Amino acid sequence: MMTKQRNIPSFVFFGTPSFAATILTHLAEENVIPLAVVCNPDKPAGRKQVLTKPPAKLVAEKYQIPVLQPRRVTELRHNPLLARAELFVVAAYAKILPAWLLAQPRYGTIGVHPSLLPKLRGPTPIQTAILLGAPETGVTIYQLDEKTDHGPLLAQQRLATYDPARATTKSLTLQLAELGGILLLQTLPRIAKGTATPSPQQEQAATYTKKFSSEDGYIPLDHLRRAIELGTSASELDRKIRALNPEPGVYTLARGKRIKLLEASLDEKGCLRLTCIQKDGKVPQRNFEPFWEGKE
């Protein structure tokens, strides 16, 4: 059954983190409500390991949308809510959907991806765009197939407000999610009308991203010192701090102790300027001694 006011297919929304939650909020505020939201199970978070609901679940509960949290995708087989859907919409859902599930609804399955596909396929397009200093980024809506971010394009839009010199993962995630919500609302009626013409991705232009580990966020103290005092690789380290916070985090080791590098900028000479750090076991600081001076 379609939403008559907008001629929008009935759909189930798959997504877990803040990117998905922002898109879901945009849809709900426009009275475009999915039959259900599928997200990851609640998991322990923080030092006290408190069982925490994922962001998309919080939005779903706010708008009284049924929530499904399977540990395995096979648990969704024969689910009555999914059986009613004419379309599946996927936005940052960590699990890979098998072919039998992708093809289940009448209109198939579409994805909302925060990059200009085929560029930056994979799990970390937002972080990687910042890390590389990409001159542009945006959002793509595409048909999902069994390969990663590979299916035909349905809609794509550049983010006009993107500033590669200032973007952080937090700010860019919000901007791209808001754009994704707008683009999705424009695309859903076109899918129902049959006017969303798919176009194949240009494989020769494809680039890929990877998951980042704690090791990717480590900056040796002598590298940090040179960036601060001489400007050596300062732009690269600035991008790393903006890209890899809050996860997996950026840090150095000084006198055997870990210091998180939370915020930074470049001064007028192009040298790195740390603006917020966090020493092991302490709260974040904006006023601190130059710990990089002296021996490591």
- pLDDT for 294 equals 59
Residue/partner pairs of 66-74 with CB below 8 Å, 24 or more apart: 66/35, 66/36, 66/37, 67/36, 67/37, 67/38, 67/39, 68/36, 68/37, 68/38, 68/39, 69/38, 69/39, 69/40, 69/41, 69/42, 70/38, 70/41, 71/41, 73/97, 73/98, 73/101
Question: CA-CA distance, 82 to 101, in Å (whole number)?
Answer: 9
Question: In this structure, how many other beta carbons lie within 10 angstroms of the beta carbon of residue 49?
Answer: 9
Q: What is the pTM of this model?
A: 0.93
Tell me the per-residue pLDDT of 234-265, one tens digit each, with 9 for 90 and over.
Answer: 999 999 999 999 999 999 999 889 999 999 99
Q: Which fold has domain 11-205?
A: Rossmann fold (3.40.50)
Mean pLDDT by 10 residues, the chain (296 residues): 64 97 97 96 85 95 96 93 96 92 95 98 97 97 93 97 96 98 97 93 96 96 95 97 97 93 95 94 88 66
| Same-fold call for 11-205 versus 214-279 | no
pLDDT at 34: 97
Domain ranges of the chain: 11-205, 214-279
214-279 under CATH 3.40.250.10, yes or no: no
